Amino acid sequence: MAATENALRLLAIAASAADDKGGEDLVALDISEPLPLVDIFLLVTGRNERNVIAISNEIEDKMIEAGVKTIRREGRAEGRWILLDFGDLVVHVFHEEERMYYGLERLWKDCPTIPLELARPSEV
């Protein structure tokens, strides 16, 4: 089973918001096969705790603008690994050290990645 159109729509919103706030190393994993309750994990790295919090806030703000509510949120107080659950999409915003330590890409290595098309400013 592949990720649904709704999950891909949510992914586009979240990835764009993360990119706007300086999120790095964005990776989207289609986890619909092993986890039937979730379609996509989006992994994002922030440079420091403030950046991790800013990225997660921007993602939530853009999702609210799109009419999508956060089902669950964890880790905001520490700003080291924030999990945002939007149903079909779960976003993990990591501090660099946490992302390397927990290695979700390694844990889900059998799941296909989803290409991300992020808008880049045109070069002058």
Cα distance between residue 105 and residue 111, in whole Å:
9
In a domain, 22, yes or no: yes
pLDDT at 106 over 60: yes
Q: What pLDDT does residue 33 have? A: 86
In a domain, 109, yes or no: yes
In a domain, 122, yes or no: no
What count of Cα atoms within 13 Å lies in the side-chain half-sphere of residue 103? 4
Cα distance between residue 48 and residue 94, in whole Å:
9
Cα distance between residue 44 and residue 98, in whole Å:
11
Which CATH number does the domain housing residue 87 bear? 3.30.460.10
pLDDT digits (tens, 9 = 90+) for 49-72: 999 999 999 999 999 999 999 999
In a domain, 31, yes or no: yes
What is the count of structural domains for the chain?
1
Take residue 42 and report the two structure tokens written for it: 């989006």
pLDDT at 35 over 90: no
The residue among 27, 24, 26 whose CA lies nearest residue 47 is: 24
42 touches 91 (CB < 8 A): yes
Cα distance between residue 116 and residue 124, in whole Å:
23
High-pLDDT (> 90) share of the chain, %: 80
In a domain, 119, yes or no: no
